[in-house]
Structure 1
């Protein structure tokens, strides 16, 4: 089924392994527009290997089977070239999948494809979603759950691959429907791509999401004539209400307790304490702290939970609690909420616990960050210590990006050559996590420290706290330029915007990089 056909398609296989050709990229565009997407026809796939035309009980005498779309020649050729597209979860044999040496990279591609389906109006399934029989929702949920249980049963993966596993739980269908801040971002971004008039509302949802956005989206949907588009807007409004509406933490904890009766006593005690505390409807900052601590505990106790179904339940609970914590974080970002420095530092600590629970920082990194917070919590803190420790805390976004690069870098590099929108996966993951709230809190503290030190960070006339770091003192003058294209040279008087420091960078006036780059460089 996945073999490369000996047809004219073979010449389109990439010249460099993992790099798509122009023809392969065009195939993807064709699949988006095709009524059958990546499929050629509907078939029964029987347990004995038979592939039969669709009819009732076609595999009844062949050990059973499943019905779904058969990949067309272009989809088969792309898969044979190493592009994991048009994945049918019901067809994945989880045990065999885990025995493959590159299963992590393959899983990364599968998850990025799920992301593309969510943010790009179905991606290559845009029209195929309505091709009856191409994908069976029940079979896909079962296949997704079986793959997740196989992954979570592997003790060796719980530590090293925790972030990858958590992303898998968030993206793969497996019988649990839970909205998240990330899902709200994805839906709104997808709608803005399809309807440019929605961009302003999308920007509001991305910058300062709140429950009131649901009414705004519903009002907008009332003016939309396209039935499918209207349906998508109402789905977004419902997602906003679920994420930013009333607390559901107690109900989620109760469901987990029913599924994980053999959970460690320490975890059960913390679950009960949080549930009881929420009965009293505590103020937002207190709820924020309770959720952060519980999220971290769920990660810490994950290896002790058995069987794998309890681990899956714990991760599902974590995603639900994170969505609620994100919603509370949006409330705490309200200009009317003016916490003290001490309160902001405590909120930072709670955010770090949630970022750790998402797998975006390691246990060692979390410990280092907590030490910084402890030093900042002294009764008196010198200004140089205040700035130094805040600079340490400002490393978190870079650490989180590196963590995603570690788990998804190879898959991202491969798929982005086929579909450029794949590159949005990192940014969307980070901005849809508690890192978004953390960065906002940190920004206010950095502005505070800079004000006391008489320092001001300004970029294009906008005063900045976090998000802009000068690695080395000095003054650079030059033209602000993008990275030169193939065959072009760097200009000596240019200040270049680069994704990262280049090893063979010639002398230039300066560089701006997305990450920290090289602290020994004299031009950053």
Structure 2
């Protein structure tokens, strides 16, 4: 119920995102067939080219002229960097795809790209991910192209751009999450991308060396200090047979893990003490955090110490978010962003040691992680204001009824999903665009989620769901994957079929009614399938849920971690069932019991013939204005989507465009 109150506010933004993705990306957001066919080859050619996407290096002078690198600008103040190939400009002009972006000299408003929902900025972030994940991507050989990119000029531009963007109060209020991610990715002499590098490096090693896959899964799923020992032992045991390139990556991974787990992360926080005095709210909370870390001295931290540290770090993240608009200078706001990124990294590492031993401690952990999610921009300020009371742990959990506990657990699960929706909503259109020619782009959103507080938040939410299932004497069974109770059934049913797991865009998938699909989101034109589970739940009148209810298709919502964990089972013939109470079962056919086999056999032989009564249906054939409809008209005049849109139109007349509805009567006639 709490999240329903938020829908009207976030719905407007999501609708705007979708409309902009369709209207403003060239070719209506879809590449033309001939361009789609050519782009992968162009990308491969850039990977092999020593100059990558560039044609040469030039001076860019203050008067707007461009001259060869060996010459000099007539007046001081010029900058030198690479200049893109003509085909790069053609792709940019025709498709709105910006490859090999160089920041220095780029007009700030052009890079922000507000009219296209900040597409160019997001493409820059996506390309940085691809360069880490795919051995340089289009810069694979151009990384060694001397003078192509000048680090000093990029950092100077980055500082100027971020200060400019953060000076816009409206932009800060509406795009906090995006601006915080931009501060993470755009060079400005304060980089905090070490966690991202750990994940992409481990992924690259596993892609070339299958024996490393177990360690890669561990690092991506449950990172903790033991990862350093695992990597060191693996490298020592395999050093003699490792290719030099892989050994270099393992050495880099070891170094980064040491920086995370052996270096005092509080030293980075201490650097901000001079920026924010004790009378600044974030400055005060920063000192509380450092005091929490200093209280244990050189002794090992106790569970109580770790809990206190995590709680104070969550409060710091929230304090930064809440007080940033009152921080007057853009330079100070940028420092706050940097402090926020460092605090999240520290919280991320500390959380691996916080293992709640009581129900109240688990509820408190989930509450604090939700607060941290709000502090990092995954929830809007008004959303957290609506959610906080529902998630706040009660003083006496012994008096908590099962219904109250189940409600808190469900609200927590929805908060995690809502936060994941922020990442998908912000970056989804750009990922869809790039996925048409670069499959690895699909991994960007998963990387952002795993790099954020959402990874431990999802795990803590799943623990709470386990407690509820234990009290209810039920539990999900999804092969042997971790955190199976993160899944929740939406529509009851059962099916057998081949399991298909799709981590990227499902838009080009040829769906079969003989297969069971686990996907990020359902495509708009989903056809009947044997069974389906999605990361994005949608709403009760979404296409996938209406299809599932009308055809009896088992349907569930799963976490991003669940989807990743199911990839190894892809291609297996499985039994999939969702109970009316929301319990989810997925297992190999060989493990079906007699009752389950009997259900499937009965399903094969049953045939239904339905007679639809027209007594309660208004069969008038007059086309209706949507604003005249209400939810109560569902099943009488029209279907639930049209009726509910009519209800929304009456509640929010300025948010829902006018429309016409074709009633049942026209189809009957």
TM-score category of the 2 structures, normalised to the smaller one: 0.7 to 0.9
5 Å-filtered alignment, 1:194-205, equals 194-205=208-219
Contact 2:511–2:527 under 8 Å retained in 1: no
Asked if 1:328 is matched to 2:355, the reply is no
- Equivalent in 415, 419, 425 of residue 444 of structure 2: 425
Q: 2:136 maps to what in 1?
A: 122
Asked if 1:102 is matched to 2:116, the reply is yes
5 Å-filtered alignment, 1:244-393, equals 244-249=261-266, 251-260=267-276, 265-281=280-296, 283-332=305-354, 337=355, 339-374=357-392, 376-379=394-397, 380-393=399-412
Q: 1:86 maps to what in 2?
A: 100
- Higher deviation after alignment, 135-144 or 474-483: 474-483
For 1:296 and 1:489, how far apart are their aligned partners in 2?
43
- Equivalent in 36, 40, 44 of residue 25 of structure 1: 40
For 1:309 and 1:28, how far apart are their aligned partners in 2?
38
For 1:427 and 1:71, how far apart are their aligned partners in 2?
30
Shift of residue 396 of structure 1? 2.4
For 2:195 and 2:508, how far apart are their aligned partners in 1?
39
- Higher deviation after alignment, 435-444 or 505-514: 505-514
**Cα deviation digits, residues 192-250 of structure 1 (max 9, x gap):** 2344343232222122322342344345445175544433322222221222235422x
Asked if 1:38 is matched to 2:53, the reply is yes
For 1:170 and 1:387, how far apart are their aligned partners in 2?
37
For 1:44 and 1:367, how far apart are their aligned partners in 2?
51
CA pair 45-227 structure 1, distance change in 2 beyond 3 A: farther
CA pair 151-14 structure 1, distance change in 2 beyond 3 A: closer
Shift of residue 26 of structure 1? 1.1
Shift of residue 264 of structure 1? 5.8
Q: Give the count of matched residue pairs.
A: 502
For 2:176 and 2:490, how far apart are their aligned partners in 1?
32
User: Normalising by the residue count of structure 1, what TM-score does the alignment of the two structures yield?
Assistant: 0.87
Contact 2:112–2:121 under 8 Å retained in 1: no
Shift of residue 175 of structure 1? 0.6
Q: 1:3 maps to what in 2?
A: none
Shift of residue 130 of structure 1? 0.7
Larger Cα-atom Rg:
2
For 1:28 and 1:487, how far apart are their aligned partners in 2?
23
For 1:284 and 1:429, how far apart are their aligned partners in 2?
25
Contact 1:97–1:103 under 8 Å retained in 2: no
CA pair 100-438 structure 1, distance change in 2 beyond 3 A: closer
Greater relative contact order (CA < 8 Å, ≥ 6 in sequence): 1
User: Normalising by the residue count of structure 2, what TM-score does the alignment of the two structures yield?
Assistant: 0.69
Q: 1:70 maps to what in 2?
A: 83
Contact 1:180–1:319 under 8 Å retained in 2: no
CA pair 387-97 structure 1, distance change in 2 beyond 3 A: same
Q: 2:221 maps to what in 1?
A: 207
Q: CA RMSD in A?
A: 2.8
Q: 1:10 maps to what in 2?
A: none
| Structure 1 SS opposite 2:532 | strand
Contact 1:32–1:123 under 8 Å retained in 2: yes
Contact 2:314–2:372 under 8 Å retained in 1: yes
Contact 2:184–2:193 under 8 Å retained in 1: no
- Gaps of at least 5 residues in structure 2 are 1-24, 556-669
